[in-house]
Amino acid sequence: MAENLNFGMQLDRMYIQQDNSLTEKYCFDDSEDSCSVYGGIYQWEEIMQYIVNEGVQGIFPPGWHIPTDEDWKQSESEEIVSLTIQIQFGMQKIFEDLMQG
C-alpha cells in the first residue's frame, strides 16, 4: 500500500471496537489529525472483520488481503536474500580495497 490505512468511524479510546458491521478505528491521542498522518489503529478482530480464516481480505481495499503465514515467510525470505547479496557485495568491495592497498 502506498499509504497507511485510515478507514472507518473514529472511536474514543475508552470504547471497545465491536462486531457491529461498522469499521471502527482509534486515532493516536484521539486526534483525527493523527489518523490523517499515521493511519487508524485497529484491533486485530476489527481488521479481520471478525472472521478467523487465513487469507481474509478484512477491511483492506479490493485486491489487498491480510498477509498469511506463507506471505510473511516469503517476505522474510526475500529480505534475507536481499541482505545476503548486499553483504556479499560489501565484503567483496572491502576485499578489493584491501588488495589495492
Tens digits of residue pLDDT in 18-76? 999 999 999 999 999 999 999 999 999 999 999 988 778 888 888 887 778 888 888 88
Is residue 25 within 8 A of residue 42, CB to CB? The reply is yes
Query: Do 44 and 1 belong together in one domain?
Result: yes
Query: Do 22 and 2 belong together in one domain?
Result: yes
Query: Do 4 and 47 belong together in one domain?
Result: yes
Which amino acid is present at 4?
A: N
Give the domain extent around 85.
68-101
Query: Do 72 and 57 belong together in one domain?
Result: no
Query: Do 59 and 19 belong together in one domain?
Result: yes
CA angle 87, 93, 94 (to 5 degrees): 90
Q: Is the pLDDT of residue 12 over 90?
A: yes
Query: Do 60 and 72 belong together in one domain?
Result: no
More confident position, 23 or 98: 23
Query: pTM score > 0.85 for this model?
Result: no
Query: Do 12 and 59 belong together in one domain?
Result: yes
